[in-house]
Structure 1
Amino acid sequence: MENTNKYTKLLLSLLFDAIGMLSFVIPGVGEFSDVIWAPISGWLMTRLYKGRIGRTAGVITFVEELMPGMDVVPTFTITWLYTYVFKKEQLKQAVHN
């Protein structure tokens, strides 16, 4: 069950990052869509990743979406990598030390 949830979150993260990058496709409209997408993406991040990680990443993705030219940063995917790859490695190292 955990792996299904893990990979579902990865797919959703890739989808949400792609939606955030769509503003580059339509010049002029992109800036307006970012104003709408920024709070939605922040809220989605807090729902996808619970606790302190979700809240912190929610604020980061909100600010990132509002900043011009920063839409290329895949914040959702980076958060997934942090949660399921980097943080997991840190836990393994702490247990073995």
Structure 2
Amino acid sequence: MNRKSEKEKPNLLFCLCMDVLGCITYILPFASEWTDIFFAPLSAYIFYRVFGGKKGKIGALINLIEELMPSIDFIPTFTIAYFFRKHYDQ
């Protein structure tokens, strides 16, 4: 694998951090589901910028829906996409 394609892949630690931020409503007692209204579009935009392309657009839409829907913030969208890209896009 060349260096350029390795650089274009997102970092696992970054993906894990984004998923933890998405779960902030469960981790911090003062945060509520209302924080997801602000975080969801930002998360979807970051998802698209990190993964890019058609799969990035689809993943960003899934990420947006997942963040906006109550009670399913625990799904690690970024981490799933990381492993999907790592194992299936070779």
Structure 1 and Structure 2 fold alike (TM over 0.5): yes
Partner of 2:68: 66
Partner of 1:82: 84
1:12 aligns with 2:14: yes
Question: What's the CA shift string for 1:45-90, capped at 9, x where partnerless?
Answer: 00000101110000000000001111110000111111111333xx
Partner of 1:43: 45
Structure 2, unaligned stretches of length 5 or more?
none
**Number of residue pairs matched?**
87
- Asked if 2 retains the 8 angstrom alpha-carbon contact of 1:65 and 1:71, the reply is yes
Q: RMSD between aligned alpha carbons?
A: 1.7
The structure whose residues are more often helix, as a share, is 1
Counterpart-to-counterpart distance in 2, 1:28 and 1:66: 18
Q: Please identify the structure whose Cα radius of gyration is greater.
A: 1
Q: Which residue type is aligned with residue 13 of structure 2?
A: L
TM-score (norm 1): 0.79
Sequence identity, in percent? 31
- Asked if 1 retains the 8 angstrom alpha-carbon contact of 2:23 and 2:74, the reply is yes
Partner of 2:26: 24
1:54 aligns with 2:56: yes
Structure 1, unaligned stretches of length 5 or more?
89-97
Counterpart-to-counterpart distance in 2, 1:41 and 1:83: 18
Q: CA deviation at 1:4?
A: 5.0
- Asked if 2 retains the 8 angstrom alpha-carbon contact of 1:9 and 1:48, the reply is no
- Asked if 1 retains the 8 angstrom alpha-carbon contact of 2:44 and 2:63, the reply is yes
